[in-house]
A = this chain, B = another copy of it.
Amino acid sequence: MKTNNKKIGSQTVKLTNPPKIISSYSVVGPKEGEGPLKEYFDQILNDDTCGKDSFEKAESEMMYTAITQALSRANLQECDIDYLFAGDLLNQIISSSFTARKFEIPFFGLYGACSTMTESLSLASIIMDAGCAEYVIAATSSHFSSAERQFRFPLEYGCQRSATCQWTVTGSGALVLGHEGKFPEVTYVTTGKVKDYGQKDPNNMGAAMAPAAVDTLVSHFKDTGRKPQYYDVIATGDLGSVGKELADKLIAEYGFDIRANHMDCGEAIFNNELQKTAAGGSGCGCSAVVFAGELYKKLMRKEIKNVLLVSTGALMSPTSSLQGESIPGIAHAVSIEMK
């Protein structure tokens, strides 16, 4: 095994011993719980502070809840888990680190902005496939109120929002990976490159991330030889309605039409007109709860069989934007199939 016998094409790994997603849990805030996907979420908070004295602590509590409940659903205890891969949007990923502090589980902290769900699922799957683990957890979180005040304006300011703005999802999703049982399998992992088309408007993340999503999708199709139609659902997240439309147009230039089965987690989670969420949801928690909520359940019920989850992230910081930088994007694709 001296060479890269699992790598296919330029940026895809074919898992030879595909790990299975043996449980999932999604917890969301009140606003997400009023949206179109409300029936799929495992827990809808009445109080988005979770009884804590800061939104940052509340976010960490959500992730703790998602992980402990996903563990419980898998009939496992924390001592059964070999690794925790987690990340979030906050500076120094404190939501994840302070959650990890409560567990005796070896921890890898990740930052991929809103792409973190598939970053964590990719690495968790690879370490499982490598024979390094029996069980691994992949988790992410985001919180509207902790993100808004960190990235944009004080909550009290009541700033006007542009039509291309997205609304950070309050939520956390956790997945437990194992080797046994009748569960959806992770079959391919396509890792994204950083793409930057020079977009500088931090109120239009969808446009910044769309090229990254398209780059990773095109690489996935080329590397695997699969066509978009192979998948029942291609779920990007979180391009929002603006970025989704751009991605559909851009990928057509590469000869692929994904419109028939393309959903975007950011577009799906809110009713943008009724809920006044402009271009849709965003945040590490968005694709996490849409997958752990809706898509995982549909896979388990065999309503769908093949999902390509493509979480997308905008790798900027307020500092980089203030220094005049454009917004680089990244997207990681994970193929999840129910046999």
Q: Which of B104, B180, B317 has a CB less than 8 Å from the CB of A92?
A: B317
Q: Complex formed: what's the CA distance from A83 to B7 in Å?
A: 11
Q: Are A106 and B192 in contact (CB under 8 A)?
A: yes
Nearest chain-B residue to A192 (Cβ)?
B106
Chain B proximity of A41: nearest CB distance (Å):
27
Residues of B within 8 A of A92 (CB): 89, 91, 111, 113, 315-317, 320
Residues of B within 8 A of A77 (CB): none
Q: Are A4 and B108 in contact (CB under 8 A)?
A: no
Q: Tell whether A126 is near chain B: CB-to-CB under 8 Å.
A: yes
- Interface pick from A29-37, A131-139, A157-165: A131-139
Q: Tell whether A56 is near chain B: CB-to-CB under 8 Å.
A: yes
Chain B proximity of A330: nearest CB distance (Å):
6
Query: What is the count of identical protomers in the complex?
Result: 2
Q: Are A101 and B3 in contact (CB under 8 A)?
A: no
Q: Tell whether A75 is near chain B: CB-to-CB under 8 Å.
A: no
Q: Complex formed: what's the CA distance from A196 to B328 in Å?
A: 35
Q: Complex formed: what's the CA distance from A105 to B105 in Å?
A: 30
Q: Which of B87, B94, B103, B319 has a CB less than 8 Å from the CB of A315?
A: B94
Binary B-proximity of A109-152 (CB < 8 A = 1, otherwise 0):
11111000001001100110111111000000000000000100
Q: Which of B83, B98, B179 has a CB less than 8 Å from the CB of A328?
A: B98
Q: Are B119 and A108 in contact (CB under 8 A)?
A: yes
Residues of B within 8 A of A6 (CB): 130-132
Q: Are B111 and A325 in contact (CB under 8 A)?
A: no
Q: Are A328 and B97 in contact (CB under 8 A)?
A: yes
Binary B-proximity of A32-63 (CB < 8 A = 1, otherwise 0):
00000000000000000000011011000000
Q: Which of A66-99 contact B (CB under 8 A)?
A: 82-83, 87, 89-94, 97-98
Residues of B within 8 A of A107 (CB): 191-194, 330
Q: What number of A residues sit within 8 Å (CB to CB) of B?
A: 69
Q: Which of A290-321 contact B (CB under 8 A)?
A: 315-320
Q: Are B106 and A109 in contact (CB under 8 A)?
A: no
Chain B proximity of A298: nearest CB distance (Å):
27
Residues of B within 8 A of A323 (CB): 53-54, 56-57
Q: Complex formed: what's the CA distance from A123 to B6 in Å?
A: 16
Q: Tell whether A17 is near chain B: CB-to-CB under 8 Å.
A: yes
Q: Tell whether A251 is near chain B: CB-to-CB under 8 Å.
A: no
Chain B proximity of A26: nearest CB distance (Å):
23
Q: Are A108 and B131 in contact (CB under 8 A)?
A: no
Q: A3-B179, A315-B92 are in contact. Are A109 and B110 (CB under 8 A)?
A: yes
Chain B proximity of A320: nearest CB distance (Å):
5
Residues of B within 8 A of A57 (CB): 323
Q: A106-B11, A130-B130 are in contact. Are A317 and B194 (CB under 8 A)?
A: no
Binary B-proximity of A224-242 (CB < 8 A = 1, otherwise 0):
0000000000000000000
Q: Are B105 and A108 in contact (CB under 8 A)?
A: no
Q: Are B94 and A319 in contact (CB under 8 A)?
A: yes
11 more contacts with CB within 8 A, not counting A6-B132, A92-B320, are A1-B17, A7-B132, A56-B323, A89-B92, A91-B317, A94-B319, A97-B194, A97-B330, A101-B194, A103-B194, A107-B194
List the 4 closest A-B pairs by CB distance, nearest first: A130-B130, A106-B191, A97-B315, A92-B317
